[in-house]
Amino acid sequence: MAVLKPRNEAIGWKKIEEYFYRGSKLDNIANGQSIVPTQPFGSAYLGGKLLSLLCLSDVVANKWKEVYGHKLVEVDTTSLWGEMKGGQSQYDNLNPYWDSKLGDTKGETPLKPTDTVYFALREWMRTRFPEDFYRFFVEKSDTGKLKMRENKSRAILFCYQKLGLKKEEYMSGHGRGVYRSRLYKNTDEFLRGEITESELIPAFDNSIESLTNFWKFGSMGDTKSLDQETKDKLKGDKKKITNKVRMKGMVKGQIDSRNPLNLIPTQGSRVDWYQDLGEMDWTEVKTKYLDQVGR
């Protein structure tokens, strides 16, 4: 996720080549690739928001340091949809933990081929362009890690271009909303190289207890008894109050704003989005779904 223009602009990274290399400050940024809850936990109890918050926890940050040897100062992700869909994202209303949306990507991510096609591309690349194959898959840095960042996606793009495919044939064209969480108040200064690690100031309490408490109650506390200031601000409008409670009150607000006579759905399109996956083995899943996507 190196080329996230809205994120790069927010940090203040201007000359891309100064930051995008192995061992650069990119090693201090994690990306949430698949923050997806099971259903109906996601739709009924904001499971996606809980997972989004837990990505920022001290447990994750400590593990990042242990595994990669770098201080985690920021977590990024992209929403499923950008402006084309509108509406709410699971990363909205999570201040101060997640920033409001920074903007949209340009949808210039190469379409991912199936494993069969990918390995065929690798073999073709090894035969036809051995020097480039070495650069993408073999060359190591002084640390012993591959020198090429995001080597798989870059190799796929390289092959598409060498095969003469037109850009519109292999790019997704699908813009996504860009979100970031700065774990420190001066994360941007650190990423620009203006301060050292010892000068970082925590932006919020990222303990599991604090993050789960926000998921439960949000910034409104007990939404059954709103404070008078909030009621006055919404002019006693019941519909506005219900919407405010639902959006800002997190799980407690969802429950308080829900009609108590309405049961939480346990089947249907909102819940059974995985359809028959639960009864299929991995080979059947790949044959029915992944191979279709790659065609």
Reported as a single tens digit per residue, the pLDDT across 249-262 is 788 877 777 776 67
Residue 223: per-residue pLDDT = 58
Distance CA 224, CA 253 (A): 8
Residue 143: per-residue pLDDT = 73
Its sign, for the CA torsion 164, 166, 167, 169, is negative
- Inter-axis angle of helices 151-162 and 115-128, nearest 10: 70
- Across-strand partners of 103? 178
Give the model's confidence band at 52: pLDDT under 50 very low, under 70 low, under 90 confident, else very high.
Answer: very high
Distance CA 53, CA 178 (A): 16
Which tops the pLDDT comparison, 220 or 63? 63
Residue 290: per-residue pLDDT = 66
DSSP E strands in 71-229: the ranges are 74-78, 103-104, 177-182
Q: Is the pLDDT of residue 293 over 60?
A: no
Which tops the pLDDT comparison, 77 or 86? 77
Q: Lowest mean pLDDT: which of 151-155, 206-210, 243-247? A: 243-247
Sequence-separated (6 or more) residues with CB below 8 Å from residue 247: 88, 93, 253
Reported as a single tens digit per residue, the pLDDT across 84-119 is 444 568 888 898 999 988 877 665 667 788 889 999
Task: Give the residue-averaged pLDDT of 20-38.
Answer: 82
Give the model's confidence band at 169: pLDDT under 50 very low, under 70 low, under 90 confident, else very high.
Answer: confident
Place of tokens 């990363």: 91
Q: Is the pLDDT of residue 283 over 90?
A: no
Nearest to 148 by CA among 139, 157, 156: 139
Q: Is the pLDDT of residue 82 over 60?
A: no
CB 213 within 8 A of CB 252: no
Distance CA 230, CA 249 (A): 13
What the block records as the tokens of 85 is 């869909």
CB 134 within 8 A of CB 242: no
Nearest to 254 by CA among 245, 263, 262: 245
Give the model's confidence band at 225: pLDDT under 50 very low, under 70 low, under 90 confident, else very high.
Answer: low
Classified as helix, coil or strand, 106 is coil
Residue 236: per-residue pLDDT = 67
Residue 9: per-residue pLDDT = 87
Q: What is the mean pLDDT of the chain?
A: 81
Task: Give the residue-averaged pLDDT of 266-287.
Answer: 69
Distance CA 191, CA 197 (A): 10
Sequence-separated (6 or more) residues with CB below 8 Å from residue 85: none
Nearest to 5 by CA among 74, 76, 71, 55: 76
Place of tokens 């699971």: 90
What the block records as the tokens of 217 is 């109650």
Which tops the pLDDT comparison, 127 or 5? 127
Sequence-separated (6 or more) residues with CB below 8 Å from residue 195: 186, 189
Give the model's confidence band at 295: pLDDT under 50 very low, under 70 low, under 90 confident, else very high.
Answer: very low
**Statement: the pTM of the whole predicted model exceeds 0.85:** no
